[in-house]
């Protein structure tokens, strides 16, 4: 958008749980689980994997949907220890949630009535009474961003999706919405036990500027079907890049093109390439 001043991005991510794993920068290598070839030769994958910040659950727990109702349980030694029903809009809470609030600093004590609706505890999990396989999980995380910046809350990019689980995505206006960020889950397989762990991220928060969202709404989309619809310049660019990939001696053509652009333009910064690894 012409004339739009974009304020530098500042992201604050807080948790109500003192013992929860703190938010952390997303890993381009998925904490070492992404194949080395993908990290070395496919900058788009590394860039997508490392974009944003991980959010973790405050406890190890499991969900199970029987096709009618959903149950949840904490995990001990990786096994459920006591299934509790979420039928009828029942709210599940962690056993130490009230204690977490009780440990609040004195300066915040007068404000704890905001949790009275939840019985003086921190909300954790509930199922939609109209669609019991749709679950709202509250990790206890609150995020705040600079004016003009929002956060896209989504599943962890390129992290293998668990069987029987879908994570919904949503854009939250965190430049004014300083409240609990929910994670909306959908259980897709009756009888499947889906496990979550406090040391494995459940969600990734990715920054989006309002100007980008506005630009998308106003964008002109040109979609051509068949080669006859292609403009000559787009076809020429496509052919030039594909010719390079025809040479069996040349690998990592995308990364090579990044290197060429960097040599010719000192202000160019390749996406998905760490600064220390940028080609000379």
- Domain assignments of the chain as residue spans, ordered by start: 11-217, 223-275
Strand partners, 15: 141
Query: Percentages helix, strand, coil for the chain, rounded to the nearest 5?
Result: 30, 30, 45
Q: Are 88 and 129 in contact (CB under 8 A)?
A: yes
**What is the separation of C-alpha 280 from the centre of its chain, rounded to a whole number of angstroms?**
32
Percent of the chain with pLDDT over 70: 91
- Which is higher by pLDDT, 5 or 54? 54
- Would you call 223 exposed, middle or buried from its count of C-beta atoms within 10 A (0-12, 13-18, 19+)? exposed
pLDDT at position 61, please?
98
Query: Where on the phi/psi map is residue 120: left (φ > 0), alpha (ψ -120 to 50), or beta?
Result: left
Residue 280 confidence class, pLDDT cut points 50, 70, 90: very low
Percent of the chain with pLDDT over 90: 69
Strand partners, 127: 135
pLDDT at position 278, please?
46
36-43 average pLDDT score = 73
Q: Are 172 and 153 in contact (CB under 8 A)?
A: yes
Could you read off the pLDDT of 7-33 as tens digits, one per residue?
A: 999 999 999 999 999 999 999 888 888
What is the CATH class of 11-217? mainly beta
pLDDT at position 150, please?
96
What is the C-alpha separation between 167 and 137, in angstroms, rounded? 11
Asked if residue 56 has pLDDT above 60, the reply is: yes
**Token pair 């106003």 in the structure block, residue:** 218
pLDDT at position 1, please?
43
Strand partners, 207: 151
Could you read off the pLDDT of 165-210 as tens digits, one per residue?
A: 999 999 999 999 999 998 999 999 999 999 999 999 999 999 999 9
pLDDT at position 201, please?
96
pTM: predicted TM-score of the whole model, two decimal places: 0.85
Q: Are 232 and 226 in contact (CB under 8 A)?
A: no
Residue 279 confidence class, pLDDT cut points 50, 70, 90: very low
What is the C-alpha separation between 52 and 41, in angstroms, rounded? 21
214-229 average pLDDT score = 92
Average pLDDT, the chain: 89
Query: Where on the phi/psi map is residue 100: left (φ > 0), alpha (ψ -120 to 50), or beta?
Result: alpha
What is the C-alpha separation between 135 and 52, in angstroms, rounded? 24
Could you read off the pLDDT of 229-272 as tens digits, one per residue?
A: 999 999 998 898 888 777 766 666 666 777 777 777 877 777 76
Q: What is the Cβ-side half-sphere exposure of residue 235, based on CA atoms within 13 angstroms?
A: 8
Residue 123 confidence class, pLDDT cut points 50, 70, 90: very high
């Amino acid at each position: 958008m012409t004339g739009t001043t974009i304020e530098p991005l500042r992201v604050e991510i807080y948790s109500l749980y003192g013992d929860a794993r703190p938010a952390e920068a997303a890993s381009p290598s998925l904490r070492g689980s992404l194949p080395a070839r993908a990290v070395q030769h496919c900058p788009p994958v590394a860039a997508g994997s490392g974009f944003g910040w991980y959010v973790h659950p405050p406890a190890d727990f499991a969900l199970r949907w029987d096709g009618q109702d959903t149950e949840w349980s904490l995990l001990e030694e990786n096994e459920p220890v006591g299934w509790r029903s979420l039928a009828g809009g029942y709210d599940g809470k962690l056993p130490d949630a009230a204690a977490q609030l009780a440990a609040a600093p004195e300066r915040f004590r007068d404000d704890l009535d905001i949790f009275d609706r939840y019985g003086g505890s921190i909300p954790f999990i509930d199922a939609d009474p109209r669609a019991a396989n749709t679950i709202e999980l509250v990790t206890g995380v609150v995020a705040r961003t600079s004016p003009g910046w929002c956060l896209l809350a989504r599943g962890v990019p390129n992290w293998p999706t668990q069987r029987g689980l879908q994570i919904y995505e949503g854009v939250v206006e965190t430049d004014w919405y300083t409240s609990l960020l929910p994670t909306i889950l959908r259980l897709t397989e009756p009888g499947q036990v889906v496990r979550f762990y406090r040391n494995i991220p459940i969600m990734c928060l990715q920054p989006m500027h309002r100007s980008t969202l506005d630009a998308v709404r106003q964008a002109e989309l040109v979609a051509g079907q068949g080669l006859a619809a292609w403009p000559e310049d787009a076809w020429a660019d496509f052919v030039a890049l594909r010719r390079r990939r025809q040479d069996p001696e040349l690998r990592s053509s995308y990364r090579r093109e990044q290197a060429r652009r960097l040599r010719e333009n000192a202000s160019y910064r390749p996406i998905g390439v760490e600064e220390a690894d940028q080609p000379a």
